[in-house]
Amino acid sequence: MTISNWWPLALLVCIPIIILLYMLKQKAQEYPFSSSMLWKEIFNNIEATKPWEKLKKNLLMILQILTILLLIVALMAPYLKRGGRRYDNVVLVIDTSASMGIRYNEDHTRLEEAVERAVDYIDSLSETSQVTILTADQEAQIVKTNVTDKAELKKALRGLQVTDLSGDASVAVSVVQSMTSQWEQYQAVFMTDTSMELGNLDAQVMNLYTDYQNLSMDYVSYGTEYDEAGNASMTVIGKITNDTDQDVTTDVNLYGDDTLLMVQSVVIPAGGSQTVYFSQVNFTGSVLMAEINRKDDLEADNRAYTVVREEGQKRVLLVTDDNMFLEKAVMNIPWVDLYKTSQLSAVGKSEEYDLYIFDGKLPETLPEQGNILYVNPGSWGDIVQAETLSNVSVAFTDTELTRYIAGDSFGVTAGKAYERPIWADGFLTSGSSCLGYYGETAGRRVAVLGFDIHQSDLALQADFPILISNLMDYMMVSGMVSEDYYATGDKIVFNGNINGSDLTVQDPNGVSSVLAAAAATNAYTDTDQAGVYTVSQTVNGEERQEKFVVRFPVEQESHQDGETAVSNETKNEEAQTLSGGRELRNLVILILLFALAVEWFVYVRQH
């Protein structure tokens, strides 16, 4: 047993005071009487039963001393330890990743079960135990720090919600390690549904993994085909995985903008996956959702979304005198319609293009809209030439423009190095010189190649068409959203028009966030929830709105492997119970109240 407070021992001084008061009180008064004969008879009887009679005589004093002692003990807050450990400092880490939403039993999900066990454990702690609560999914977050108020702790625990994020409690190990390094004695408990490595950390893992029955809608996608008459035909496909031990037949509902479009029945083999097809889908809206029409142990992964984008070719204007390499490379991209001119005066006069390629030429004014690719420009506007290079080897750095070709190099007989603007990233280097960069500025995407393709051997390499394809992919994005799909927890940077209003992002719950229009300064991180998000911006009085999907992490959270989720250590039954202790103060107070009642009773009887 441990004692929380030692100061109440100072109240022991009250006991000799009580004894002294009784001794003073017992100063006898003179009582003249005719004869002491009969009194001596009864006095002898009292003497004969001396111990009991003396006790009865001083029973009130004894009861009052007992009351003081019980009060002192109650104030000292005694605590009965279990397991021989002191728990002055306790750290609870609760896994709130998506898999904790899987049903644990008929009453609780895994998270709810973890919360209830944590609440029970907190009730068993002493009043002076300081508790820290963290949640863990993709990263660790501190919920409460060094709190002794049990009501506050329990309220915080009951307020925890499962997220759609992937991850587990292991992300909190380093945080807990640094936290506990300052304490001599502590208990750390991780409540999760997967095995985890604790390293050097002395902690207990409470594994809440249980076998479960689940179907997951892994993804949904669509394709559009055009017949000879140019009529579009949409096909929607979805993939379903069966994490049960039996073959399952289920209906899959296809919704378009919340309207039910089609229903398909599908048979998914036990432990396997199946693709469901929806053909001839007549839909012209923006969001498709496929949903498994069946209840299981994890319902958050029973639906998947996709956003239908506007179809159509991209228009590219090549402003060049002659560049067959570039022309051929761009024309090979099927969704690009290439237009060529040698007249700068034609730029921005009548038609608009998605991309302008200025090959060795610089316009007087840039078109109002459209992205720009400069090939071998001199200093102009933001483009600042730093030096001229001759006969250098140029390498591709690792960027999104250099997918599949990063690290490769080629020779340039004459090239230009530039001062890279603050909004740009370099993707071509020669030593410390930057011969190519890309980025977003003034509401458009810009890329610069610092050499004439004819004066390099790049066009002779397989890297050239790949580079052009990557460039086209990057440059052809005309919307605010770069990708169609994101994963929960992803950080999203939007391509807002810098001349427009701030961006407004609305999550699936309808909660809005406002971000700056400049891509360099906006980063949306509230992607904890799977579903369809909307980003909007007002440009020149016209509102532009785009949707994007944040996907549920089915691979990490829906398809748990039971063998690896539960290690041999955590299968031990004893590891599933938390050893706390028992606060004895309330018991002592009950005894104290009983003693007071007895004292009152004795006092009334005597008087």
Give contact residues for another protein (rule: CB under 8 A). Answer: 25-43, 45-46, 56-57, 605-607
Q: How far is the CB of 55 from another protein (least distance, A)?
A: 13
CA–CA gap between residue 486 and residue 493 (Å, rounded): 11
Among 424, 458, 476, 475, residue whose Cα is nearest residue 326:
458
The residue among 349 and 605 lying less far from another protein, judged by its C-beta, is 605
Q: How far is the CB of 158 from another protein (least distance, A)?
A: 58
The residue among 349 and 607 lying less far from another protein, judged by its C-beta, is 607
Residue 220's beta-bridge partner residues?
238
Is 68 within 8 Å of 603 (Cβ atoms)? no
The residue among 32 and 312 lying less far from another protein, judged by its C-beta, is 32
The residue among 39 and 601 lying less far from another protein, judged by its C-beta, is 39
Q: How far is the CB of 46 from another protein (least distance, A)?
A: 7
Q: How far is the CB of 118 from another protein (least distance, A)?
A: 57
CA 461 to chain centre: 44
Residue type, 598: V
Q: How far is the CB of 42 from another protein (least distance, A)?
A: 4
Q: How far is the CB of 595 from another protein (least distance, A)?
A: 22
The residue among 13 and 42 lying less far from another protein, judged by its C-beta, is 42
The residue among 39 and 277 lying less far from another protein, judged by its C-beta, is 39
Find the DSSP H helices in 414-548: 463-475
The residue among 380 and 601 lying less far from another protein, judged by its C-beta, is 601
The residue among 39 and 380 lying less far from another protein, judged by its C-beta, is 39
Residue partners of 130: CB distance under 8 A and separation at least 6 = 88, 89, 90, 146, 147, 148
Structure tokens at 369: 């809209």
Q: How far is the CB of 23 from another protein (least distance, A)?
A: 10
At how many degrees (to 10) do helices 59-75 and 585-606 cross?
A: 160
Q: How far is the CB of 155 from another protein (least distance, A)?
A: 55
Three-state SS at 122: helix
488-498 as b/e: b if 16+ CB within 10 A? bbeebbbbbbb
What pairing do the DSSP bridges indicate for beta strands 433-441 and 424-430? antiparallel
Residue 57's φ and ψ, nearest 5 degrees, are -60, -40
Strands in 186-313 per DSSP E: 187-192, 204-207, 215-226, 232-242, 248-256, 259-268, 273-281, 287-292, 303-307
Structure tokens at 96: 């709130």
